[in-house]
């Protein structure tokens, strides 16, 4: 039997479509920064590959051209840069990255996936086909680098074709892992895209990349990868049946022996109330009362009535169905009549942005809304709100509920996915054993959500209960180390399985 590789033999290529602080639209950006940093601490040589959107290129301090990269006749010309994540406050600074500089595909005004109006870029198949292809080449004999990964770690549909490309390379195989951060996005394109992607016609098969007559990047990754990882144990179970399998439940259930759920951690340097530069006042578990200065700053900044005693709820999210924005819109008129305030920060679907923005006009002084992406304000909301809302229909992991607990801002969350795995509901029993750290509601309807809001308000006014909740949450360890260790163990076990 081959010996199990030592951790120093683990060379991992981490393919991602976003990484903080260069480019971030959601949790994948945070995870792509913090998980590799934590794995490097464990001795894993992990390097990233990412498209060169304008913000990414602008954020690189030093870069060196990778020479000798094979020409790819199906894709527009590009240059590959080798660089490091810029020095920031977070733990990820210095992590090596490869950046694909392909102006025709990536140099444009808008987001990584959509234009400024929120419409998908029409050439996304080619844009992320190139990312997937370059990832596969860097892991193959055709790579011009001296460094070779023995594991390729793909993230979401944007790198889903990498395991397919690797499958069709006629050479030593590397191990590929497909990480699902969100199964709702699958990268589905018409079959005509196949000709652009440089994959053999035989791949367009039910046992391959075909999905109900179309091509699915994510299905390709789930089918061809050696192992599937998702970002919480509960979500790993939920996706194996409808509705949260989003059509892929059959394939996922058939691979259940090769699926692991590992909860995300948080970047505990970036998200630390004791040192957070975006707060009006830093504080620790021993001086939680100082948190009130942030509440005051937040109320002032957002035009809310200044009141230290009224419970202030916060919500920061993409404005999509997933995040339960519709439920929030349904309960807002009721919440506005309760002794409470609400701050909303986010952006997303145009219709939801509009309806949410209208809340501020209708309930001025009680509900404040900021449409947009604002990293600074998101930190102040974590530090200044009393409680954080996450009424998500589904949540593969979720990061804000962990930030909230760390910031002494007990969250109210729908009992699903990673929210269920990371928040301990406040009950007499959990208060007594010191584990209570937030609130869960179980039915995805306005009554259940409002009952949860009422529970938060009641607990907020019970000083002893509230401080226990805050302390329990702040004392929890959400650092990446345990999760990064679990990833390393999976890398090792999948490698040794493949080598057998
Ligand atoms: P998802 O990845 O589904 O959007 P997560 O909870 O995993 O959800 O991560 C969301 C991340 O993006 C968090 O760091 C959150 O603070 C951040 N975020 C989302 N929307 C905004 C926004 N409008 N402004 C600032 N940060 C945001
Ligand atoms: C996704 C999920 C979110 C998760 C994040 C990082 O965007 O929606 O729940 O925390 O990825 O894994």
Contact 182, 392 (CB under 8 A): no
Does residue 213 share a domain with residue 123?
A: yes
Contact criterion met (CB below 8 Å) for 460 and 466: yes
Q: What is the pLDDT of residue 86?
A: 86
Using the mean position of ligand 2's atoms as its centre, give its distance from the Cα of residue 409 in Å: 20
Query: What digits encode the pLDDT tens for the residues 262-309?
Result: 999 998 888 999 999 999 999 999 999 999 999 999 999 999 999 999
Residue 171: the pLDDT is 73
Long-range CB pairs of 448-453, under 8 A, 24+ apart, other chains included: 449/324, 449/327, 449/331, 449/391, 449/414, 450/331, 450/334, 450/335, 452/412, 453/313, 453/331, 453/335, 453/338, 453/340, 453/412
Three-state DSSP string of the chain: CCCCCCHHHCEEEEECCCECCCECCCHHHHHHHHHHHHHHHCCCEEEEEEECCHHHHHHCCCEEECCCCCCCCCCCCCEEEEEECCCCCCCCCCCEEEEEECHHHHCCCCCCCECCCCCECCCHHHHHHHHHHHHHHHCCCCCCCCCCCCEEEEECHHHCCHHHHHHHCCCCCCEEEEEECCCCCCCEECHHHHHHHCCCHHHCCCCCCEECCEEEHHHHHHHHCCEEEECCHHHHHHCCCCCCCCCCHHHHHHCHHHEEECCCCECCCCCCCCCCCCCCCCCCHHHHHHHHHHHHHHHHHHCCCCCCCCCEEEEEEEECHHHCHHHHHHHHHHHCCCCCEEEEEEEECHHHHHHHHHHHHHCCCCEEEEECCCHHHHHHHHHHCCEEEECCCCCCCCCHHHHHHHCCCCEEEECCHHHHHHCCECCHHHHHCCCCCEEEECCCCHHHHHHHHHHHHHHHCCHHHHHHHHHHHHHCCCECHHHHHHHHHHHHHHHHHHHC
Instruction: For ligand 1, say whether the CB of 368 is within 6 Å of any of its atoms.
Output: no
Q: Which of 18, 182, 302, 316 to mutate to test the pocket of ligand 1 (most atoms within 8 A of CB)?
A: 316
Give the count of beta carbons closer than 10 Å to the beta carbon of residue 447: 11
CA of 168 to the centre of ligand 2 (A): 30
What ligand is nearest to the CA atom of residue 182?
Answer: 2
This prediction's pTM: 0.94
Whether 317 is in the pocket of ligand 1, judged by its Cβ within 6 Å, is: yes
Q: Which atom of ligand 1 is nearest to the CA of 382?
A: 16
- Mutation to probe ligand 1, out of 33, 112, 235, 317 (largest number of atoms < 8 A from CB): 317
- Does one domain contain both 361 and 231? no
- For residue 256, is it within any domain? yes
Q: What is the predicted pLDDT for the residue at 3?
A: 37
Q: Does ligand 2 come within 6 angstroms of the Cβ of 231?
A: yes
**Shared-domain flag, residues 357 and 452:** yes
Both 306 and 254 in a single domain?
no
CB 214 within 8 A of CB 125: no
Contact status, residue 41 vs residue 29, Cβ threshold 8 Å: no
What pLDDT, on a 0 to 100 scale, did the predictor assign at position 92?
Answer: 66
Residues 417 and 487 in one domain: no
Position 420 in a domain = yes
Which residue has a Cα nearest atom 12 of ligand 2? 181
The bound ligand whose nearest atom lies closest to the alpha carbon of 399 is 1
133 and 184 in a single domain? The answer is: yes
Which protein residue has the closest C-alpha to ligand 2 atom 3? 398
For residue 416, which ligand has an atom nearest its CA? 2
Q: Which atom of ligand 1 is nearest to the CA of 181?
A: 2
Asked if the structure places residue 271 within a domain, the reply is: no
278 in a structural domain? no
Cβ of residue 318 lying under 6 Å from some atom of ligand 1 = yes
Q: Which domain holds residue 472?
A: 285-477
Q: Closest-lying ligand to the alpha carbon of 369?
A: 1
Q: Total structural domains in the chain? A: 2
List the residue whose alpha carbon is closest to atom 9 of ligand 1.
Answer: 27
Rg (CA), the chain: 23
Residues 301 and 208 in one domain: no
- The finding on whether 28 has its CB within 6 A of some atom of ligand 2 is yes
Query: Residues in the chain with pLDDT < 50?
Result: 1-8
Q: Supply 301's token pair.
A: 């900044």
- Residue 375 Cβ inside 6 Å of ligand 1? The answer reads yes
**In whole angstroms, what separates CA 310 from the centre of its chain?**
32
Is there a single domain that holds both residue 259 and residue 290?
no
Query: Is residue 326 in a domain?
Result: yes
Asked if residue 357 and residue 344 are part of one domain, the reply reads yes
Distance 397 CA to ligand 2 centre (A): 5
Same domain, 249 and 341: no
The answer to the question of residue 40 being in a domain is yes
Q: CATH code at 293?
A: 3.40.50.2000
In a domain, 276, yes or no: no
Does 32 contact ligand 2 (Cβ within 6 A)? no
Residues 426 and 487 in one domain: no
Domain shared by 425 and 486, yes or no? no
Nearest 5°: phi and psi at 82? -110, 130
Q: Does residue 237 lie in a domain region?
A: yes
Q: What is the Å distance from ligand 1's center to 348 Cα?
A: 11
Does residue 400's CB lie within 6 angstroms of at least one atom of ligand 1? yes
Cα distance between residue 250 and residue 87, in whole Å: 43
């Amino acid at each position: 039997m081959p010996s199990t590789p030592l951790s120093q033999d683990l060379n991992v290529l981490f393919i991602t479509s976003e990484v903080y602080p260069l480019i971030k639209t959601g949790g994948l950006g945070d995870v792509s920064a913090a998980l590799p940093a934590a794995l490097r601490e464990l001795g894993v040589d992990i390097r990233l590959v990412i498209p060169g959107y304008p913000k990414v290129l602008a954020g690189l301090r030093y870069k060196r051209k990778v020479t000798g990269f094979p020409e790819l006749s199906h894709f527009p010309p590009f240059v590959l840069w080798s660089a490091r994540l810029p020095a920031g406050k977070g733990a990820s600074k210095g992590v090596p990255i490869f950046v694909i500089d392909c102006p025709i595909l990536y140099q444009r005004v808008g987001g990584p996936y959509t234009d400024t109006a929120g419409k998908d870029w029409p050439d996304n198949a080619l844009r992320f086909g190139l990312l997937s292809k370059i990832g596969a080449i860097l892991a193959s004999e055709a790579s011009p680098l001296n460094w070779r990964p023995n594991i390729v770690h793909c993230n979401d549909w944007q790198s889903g074709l990498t395991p397919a490309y690797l499958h069709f390379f006629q050479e030593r195989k590397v191990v590929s892992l497909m990480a699902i951060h969100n199964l709702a996005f699958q990268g589905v394109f018409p079959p005509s895209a196949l000709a652009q992607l440089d994959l053999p016609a035989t791949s367009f098969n039910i046992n391959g990349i075909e999905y109900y007559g179309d091509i699915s990047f994510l299905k390709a990754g789930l089918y061809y990868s050696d192992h599937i990882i998702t970002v919480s144990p509960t979500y790993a179970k939920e996706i194996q049946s409808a509705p949260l399998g989003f059509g892929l439940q059959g394939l996922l259930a058939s691979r259940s022996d090769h699926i692991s759920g590992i909860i995300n951690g948080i970047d505990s340097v970036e998200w630390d109330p004791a040192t957070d530069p975006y707060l009006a006042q830093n504080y620790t578990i021993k001086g939680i009362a100082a948190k009130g200065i942030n509440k005051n700053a937040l109320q002032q900044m957002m035009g809310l009535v200044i009141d230290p005693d009224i419970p202030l709820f916060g919500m920061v999210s993409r404005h999509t169905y997933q995040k339960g924005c519709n439920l929030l819109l349904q309960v807002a008129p009721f919440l506005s009549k309760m002794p409470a305030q609400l701050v909303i920060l986010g952006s997303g679907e145009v219709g939801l942005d509009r309806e949410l923005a209208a809340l501020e006009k209708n309930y001025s002084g009680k509900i404040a809304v900021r449409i947009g992406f604002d990293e600074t304000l998101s930190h102040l909301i974590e530090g200044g709100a009393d409680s954080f809302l996450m009424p998500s229909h589904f949540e593969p992991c979720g990061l804000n509920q962990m930030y909230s607990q760390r910031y002494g801002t007990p969250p109210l969350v729908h009992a699903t996915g990673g929210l269920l795995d990371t928040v301990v509901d406040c009950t007499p029993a959990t208060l007594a054993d010191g584990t209570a750290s937030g609130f869960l509601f179980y039915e995805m309807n306005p009554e259940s959500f409002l009952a949860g809001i009422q529970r938060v308000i009641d607990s907020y006014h019970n000083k002893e209960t509230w401080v226990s909740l805050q302390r329990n949450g702040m004392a929890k360890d959400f650092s990446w180390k345990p999760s990064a260790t679990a990833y390393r163990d999976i890398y090792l076990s999948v490698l040794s399985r493949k080598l057998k």
